[in-house]
Each structure stands twice: as C-alpha cells, then as structure tokens.
C-alpha cells in the first residue's frame, strides 16, 4: 500500500505543490489498508513492472484516482476511470477547484460539476468541487415503425 500512497502523493503534489502536507508517507499508506482496501475496489496500473496509476472506487464514489506525472496522457487514467464507470451507474467525486488538469480530465469523460465549496469541510482547507456522472439509460427502440 505504500506504493499506492506514494503515487497519490507524487501526483497530487506535482499538480498542487503548495498544498499542505498534513500526513507522512507512512500515515498515507496506513489509510489505504483498513479503509480503502477494506471498503472499495482498488486497481493499479503497472508500467514496466512499476505502479504508475491507482484508483479506489465503490459505493457510488471515486475515492482516489492518481497517475504518476510522467505517465499522464498515456491513457492510464482513462482505463482506470473506465473500470469504475463500467462497474457503477452513478458516480460522484471531489477534486480541488484549482486542480485544472484533473477537472478537465473528468469533464472530458462526461462528469459535471454540481457543487463548489470553500474548503472548510476538507482537512486541507482547499476549495473543492463535487463532480457527478450518471450512465444514461439504454434507449428502447420499437422495431414496428407504426408503433404497435
């Protein structure tokens, strides 16, 4: 779990280098074992035998989705996100408002911002935005052109 936590740390702090570092790498890794692994589907993407991206999802939420900065733009994030979108019909996730790269990624995959906050409810105190995606119902076609 230490590697998964490190992917998150590296990706997040590359995107937002002045974000407060509230937890040690060991504390971050400790969060994964009892919480994320026990309650969510966790997938990793390996490139050349090294963990390059991770996702934790379930219960209608994406809790974590991070790809190492030097691997972004290669389709890893899209493949990980696709797994969650295949498994769930309705998804929500929080992202920091100023993480424009992540916001553009989710919006390009059909997620819409539905709420913005001032950050008072997250431990970083960072303004964030809630995104939502919902699978559209399959259209039903009537094979009878007369509508019978």
Quote the CA–CA distance of 90 and 81 in Å, as a whole number: 13
User: What 3-state class would DSSP assign to 105?
Assistant: helix
Rg (CA), the chain: 18
Q: Tell me: pLDDT of 87 over 80.
A: yes
Q: Tell me: pLDDT of 126 over 70.
A: yes
Give me the helices (H) in the chain, please: 2-15, 25-31, 38-39, 76-87, 100-108
**Residue 80: half-sphere exposure toward Cβ, Cα within 13 Å:** 28
Give pLDDT, residue 55: 97
Cβ partners under 8 Å of residue 52, min gap 6: 7, 45, 46, 67, 68, 71, 76
pTM of the model: 0.88
**Residue 76: half-sphere exposure toward Cβ, Cα within 13 Å:** 22
List pLDDT tens digits, range 22-72.
Answer: 998 889 888 887 788 889 999 999 999 999 999 999 999 999 999 999 999
Give pLDDT, residue 33: 78
């Amino acid at each position: 779990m230490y590697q998964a936590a490190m992917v998150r740390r590296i990706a997040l702090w590359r995107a937002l280098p002045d974000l407060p570092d509230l937890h040690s790498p060991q504390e971050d890794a400790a969060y994964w074992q009892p919480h994320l692994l026990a309650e969510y589907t966790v997938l990793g993407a390996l490139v050349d035998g090294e963990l390059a991206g991770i996702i934790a999802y379930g219960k209608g939420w994406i809790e974590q989705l991070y790809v190492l900065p030097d691997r972004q733009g290669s389709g890893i994030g899209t493949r990980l996100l696709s797994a969650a979108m295949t498994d769930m019909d309705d998804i929500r996730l929080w992202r920091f408002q100023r993480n424009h790269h992540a916001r553009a990624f989710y919006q390009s995959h059909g997620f819409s911002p539905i709420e913005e906050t001032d950050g008072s409810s997250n431990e970083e105190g960072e303004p964030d935005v809630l995104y939502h995606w919902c699978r559209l119902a399959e259209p039903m076609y009537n094979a009878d052109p007369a509508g019978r």
